[in-house]
Structure 1
């Protein structure tokens, strides 16, 4: 570090000026020494986040808790539906696939996002950044498609109860799952790998620092992605559930003619529970999808910390669904208890009666 000899000057003003210059030079050099680069020795490197040890530990603890809740909770749902024969139904086929989506979010997406959030750096290379981004978009889109299928399933069960068992069979449910996975994959990987979302943003991509994982959507794809993959489907699902509850209320009022109007109480309760799942999804994801619309229009001015908070708010939704099932599905509570107490390994446990009186 260079020093400036202020004593060699005779003017008081010059003496003061050089002392101040010396102070700011020293301060700037010290500040630069404190900064840690994501790619050491590269002048174009991004700067690593400087959290204290305790702050980093607290963040990792929070993220680890969300990941464990996501992985364990959805694993319980998957094992329950696969093992217990009483849960083998078209609706639960869709719930099983949705739980698999949430499980993959906890296993593949969240761990790498956690290190990015804490350190402000992407340590896994540009290729894996693209894979991680496309997989995150794929799972998000897939969750929405599953919720649409579930809403259609509940609509048929409540609004057309006499034809439901004939129209919504196990094979139909499996087909809905396969189509959802295929369409979501085509959309997510098509957009990211074709770089359609980056069209017109070449100047921004060239000015980015190295060692980060950045994804931008231009105004066109920002609006299209949010409108057609979130806001429009959610509007349709809200309308479907609104109709479901109106029809269910009519069934209750006309319960006298049982042959025409009777609907199982369990079907109505399932519709209520799954509407809560939809509400949780909308609550967790709407801030992030709103940002994807406004960001291109505001010059991508949202602070990175805000973006990371919104991402983890969205990730938290994957941990919510098993909690909702446990709170509102007594049969799932019984399944979870059997798994935890290892009764699932007893003979003939798959035929266990899960009905709660």
Structure 2
């Protein structure tokens, strides 16, 4: 629905929505490739596609999930510049920069998914032997170095960046809310005075201009303090 919406309506084809469309594509890959493989194994109770497809499926699972997380990180940076530094937004978040960001988030995760999984760097020798002896099972077992490196690069660093950017966005939103409230209160205080039409004002209108101003202020202060 996100992809169709951006494709159908021209006013949605902004630079900031490129990242949303790319994120939607990454989530489609997770749904069509990673989740279907898991569902087939749960339904049949065994893995029916061999060792190579098992490695491919595990690689796509890690790859697409990482791509999705990195997209969320890039979107948080886009929101940061749009809200916290709006005057610099158009000069920093350009079409070229967004394309570089999307290219990076699609290419970088391959180095921690397809490459180590197909070369067997992600798991233990015992697990490799078990997979070769039991081709009807496909499980994803990782060793400690791969678990630490992959979790830091694909989860903890993006999450820390998102926490930092959205904290700044929240603070800026609160600051702008207070500024708008203060401006609204100040604007109301400058509203035109509603001078009460009384006999006293009619009588002093015949006096001189300077005395009229002085006496008019006196009347308004005494008859209508709320309009001061």
> Aligned with 2:122: secondary structure?
helix
Mapped pair 1:171 → 2:91: no
Q: TM-score with structure 2 length normalisation?
A: 0.73
- The correspondence for 1:97, drawn from 10, 22, 38, is 22
> Aligned with 2:46: secondary structure?
coil
Mapped pair 1:206 → 2:121: no
Mapped pair 1:195 → 2:115: no
Change (3 A) 1:164 1:256: farther
Once the two structures are TM-superposed, the CA of residue 257 in structure 1 deviates from its matched residue by: 10
Once the two structures are TM-superposed, the CA of residue 236 in structure 1 deviates from its matched residue by: 2.0
C-alpha offsets along residues 53-111 of structure 1, whole Å, 9 cap, x if unaligned?
xxxxxxxxxxxxxxxxxxxxxxx111111221111112210000000011122222222
Runs of 5+ unmatched residues, structure 2 = 184-228
**Which deviates more, 221-230 or 203-212?**
203-212
Please list, as runs of the form range in 1=range in 2, the aligned pairs for 1:1-357 lying within 5 A after superposition: 76-198=1-123, 201-207=124-130, 209-255=134-180
Work out whether residues 127 and 141 of structure 2, in 8 Å CA contact, stay in contact via their aligned partners in 1: no
Once the two structures are TM-superposed, the CA of residue 223 in structure 1 deviates from its matched residue by: 1.8
Computing the radius of gyration from Cα coordinates, the structure with the larger value is 2
C-alpha offsets along residues 155-193 of structure 1, whole Å, 9 cap, x if unaligned?
101110111122112232122111111112233212212
Once the two structures are TM-superposed, the CA of residue 251 in structure 1 deviates from its matched residue by: 1.8
Once the two structures are TM-superposed, the CA of residue 152 in structure 1 deviates from its matched residue by: 0.5
Tell me what 2:201 maps to: none
Change (3 A) 1:108 1:184: same
Work out whether residues 138 and 188 of structure 1, in 8 Å CA contact, stay in contact via their aligned partners in 2: yes
Once the two structures are TM-superposed, the CA of residue 247 in structure 1 deviates from its matched residue by: 1.2
Please identify runs of 4+ aligned residues in structure 1 that moved more than 4 A. none
Give the count of matched residue pairs: 181
> Aligned with 1:206: secondary structure?
helix
Runs of 5+ unmatched residues, structure 1 = 1-75, 259-357
CA RMSD of aligned residues (A): 1.9
